[in-house]
Structure 1
Amino acid sequence: MTMTAFEVRLRQIGAQRYHDKHPFHHLLHSGGCSPDQVRAWVINRFYYQSSIPMKDAAFMSRVDDPKLRRAWRSRIEDHDGTGDNEGGIERWLRLADAVGLDRDYVASKEGVLPATRFAVDAYVRFVRDKALLEAVAASLTELFAPKIHAARIEGLLANYAFADDRSLSYFKNRLKEAPKDVAFGLSWVLDHADTAEKQDAAAAALTFKTDVLWAQLDALHAAYVDPARIPPGAWQPGSFLKAQAAKAS
């Protein structure tokens, strides 16, 4: 395929498979989630957010080209933070504070659903083990993220008392950070997927990543919405709240 046709193919994967089409996504953004369902989402999504810099570090450890490492390094800094930037992980824990969770419990990752762990860990292994082209292509779900972040900000602000500029700062910052990652990643994939075989591999990698994101929402919906069957060891609604943590201390 030409570069233009291949980019259309990649974008079509998002149009068909991105997790903005999942029922839990629509429930959350429309205000249909209970406080505990929102908390379950925050707890499980933190496992994904906190694994992103680990994924990126695994990727960089295999890159020989200093230019590529320099371009990729900012992704780790965006999540872990720097002297001037508190980072996405800290912003997500601020969201945990806002929805009433004990942030130390969220940071411990103890209550994460088994399916969330399996999906996210599979993504980290994928980036660690697959060809660099496939690893970069898997990150291209960022092509579709700004739209979902903007809709999330709008939906949460309209429907939940906890939502304000401070609690939603993670999503607001990603609206500024993601475009540079998208531009670089897409350009790199288009340049390096220069055979039909490589284009197929890159498209399959992006499809895999959409499956990772979809599986996480499937797990949340099954555990906390319908049939509301929470696996052993996963977070139980009403537990590990800030008020409880304060009493315990």
Structure 2
Amino acid sequence: MSDAAWTRAEFEARLRERGRSYHIHHPFNVMLNTGRATPEQIRGWVANRFYYQIAIPIKDAAVLSNCDDRAVRRGWVQRILDHDGFEIGGVNDPGGIEAWLRLAEAVGLTREEVEDRRHLIPALKFAVDAYVEFARRAPWQEAVCSSLTELFAPEIHKQRLATWPEHYRWIEPQGLAYFRNRVGQARRDVEQGLAVTLDHFDTRAAQQRALGILQFKLDILWAMNDAMALKYGVNA
């Protein structure tokens, strides 16, 4: 029947097909990764993306607050630790937010001007806040599904690691640690998020819903880049 559920392999393939809408293809991101961005544009991107970085653990805490599955919670909590950092049993990891602040310093921003959000574009803030609000209100499985933009994240981080040192030699190399860390973390996160999504969305209607949720998150990321392109311009 045409309305029969896709197999897990078919469903996963359709989820991955949505990568064509990932912001790796946005003109602003293409400009950044092909060496055509000015220092002002890079600083604007770093300062504004910080708002997204600090929203991620808040979003993940919302997922946990709605989740009644202990096994999922035990895995999901690692995402908060990845971003906020931790000191447990003598192990001290400053976390992704700290790594992003070090990136900010490497591109010539001060911590103060990033943390006080003086450069934050209202439209970008609106998009990020909409994502967090979705995670708070949606069933936790849908919030998990929305995280699957991580399917496409390793490639965008690898692009930055491959091109930024060549094109932007004025950026201190240690500032790129965030991207190196996220390549591995994103792959791990995808395994958990994908397993939950493939298990939970097991009818054709539910699978179509999942594709819509993933597209919603892709649209959030695209809208963030739209806001920065409007503010800072895109160099041909």
State TM-score, norm by structure 2: 0.93
Task: Tell me the distance in 2 between the aligned counterparts of 1:226 and 1:187.
Answer: 38
Whether 1:10 aligns to 2:18 is: no
Which residue does the alignment assign to 1:238? none
Deviates more, 1:175-184 or 1:33-42: 175-184
Task: Tell me the distance in 2 between the aligned counterparts of 1:201 and 1:195.
Answer: 10
Residue from 169, 173, 186 that aligns with 2:181:
173
Task: Tell me the distance in 2 between the aligned counterparts of 1:226 and 1:13.
Answer: 24
Which residue does the alignment assign to 1:79? 83
Whether 1:208 aligns to 2:216 is: yes
Any conservation in 2 of the 1:113–1:219 contact (CA below 8 Å)?
Answer: yes
Whether 1:22 aligns to 2:26 is: yes
For the residue of structure 2 that corresponds to 1:166, the secondary structure is helix
| CA shift for structure 1 position 164 | 4.6
Any conservation in 2 of the 1:20–1:148 contact (CA below 8 Å)?
Answer: yes
Whether 1:34 aligns to 2:34 is: no
| CA shift for structure 1 position 165 | 3.9
**Structure 2 counterpart of 1:10, one-letter code:** L
* 1:140-179 deviation digits (Å, cap 9, x = unpaired): 0000000110001111111012435410000000012111
Task: Tell me the distance in 1 between the aligned counterparts of 2:142 and 2:101.
Answer: 30
For the residue of structure 1 that corresponds to 2:47, the secondary structure is helix
Task: Tell me the distance in 1 between the aligned counterparts of 2:41 and 2:234.
Answer: 11
The percentage of aligned residue pairs carrying the same residue is 49
Task: Tell me the distance in 2 between the aligned counterparts of 1:181 and 1:211.
Answer: 20
**Structure 1 counterpart of 2:50, one-letter code:** F
Q: CA RMSD in A?
A: 1.3
Alignment of 1:176-195 (within 5 A): 176-195=184-203
Alignment of 1:213-232 (within 5 A): 213-225=221-233
Whether 1:88 aligns to 2:96 is: yes
Deviates more, 1:119-128 or 1:158-167: 158-167
**Which segments of 5 or more consecutive residues in structure 2 lack a partner in the other structure?**
1-5
**Structure 2 counterpart of 1:62, one-letter code:** N
Task: Tell me the distance in 1 between the aligned counterparts of 2:188 and 2:35.
Answer: 31
Task: Tell me the distance in 2 between the aligned counterparts of 1:181 and 1:226.
Answer: 32
Residue from 40, 57, 67 that aligns with 1:63:
67
Residue from 117, 131, 147 that aligns with 1:123:
131
Task: Tell me the distance in 2 between the aligned counterparts of 1:21 and 1:212.
Answer: 14
**Structure 1 counterpart of 2:222, one-letter code:** W
Aligned length: 226
* 1:20-78 deviation digits (Å, cap 9, x = unpaired): 11111111011111110100000110000110000001111111122111110000000
- Please list every run of at least 4 consecutive aligned residues from structure 1 whose deviation after the TM superposition is greater than 3 angstroms: 162-165
**Structure 2 counterpart of 1:26, one-letter code:** V
Any conservation in 2 of the 1:116–1:219 contact (CA below 8 Å)?
Answer: yes
Which residue does the alignment assign to 2:50? 46
**Which segments of 5 or more consecutive residues in structure 1 lack a partner in the other structure?**
228-249
Task: Tell me the distance in 1 between the aligned counterparts of 2:194 and 2:234.
Answer: 37
**Structure 1 counterpart of 2:37, one-letter code:** C
Any conservation in 2 of the 1:142–1:178 contact (CA below 8 Å)?
Answer: yes
Task: Tell me the distance in 2 between the aligned counterparts of 1:74 and 1:171.
Answer: 18
Any conservation in 2 of the 1:193–1:199 contact (CA below 8 Å)?
Answer: yes
Any conservation in 2 of the 1:133–1:202 contact (CA below 8 Å)?
Answer: no
Task: Tell me the distance in 2 between the aligned counterparts of 1:162 and 1:129.
Answer: 43
State TM-score, norm by structure 1: 0.88
Residue from 119, 125, 130 that aligns with 1:111:
119
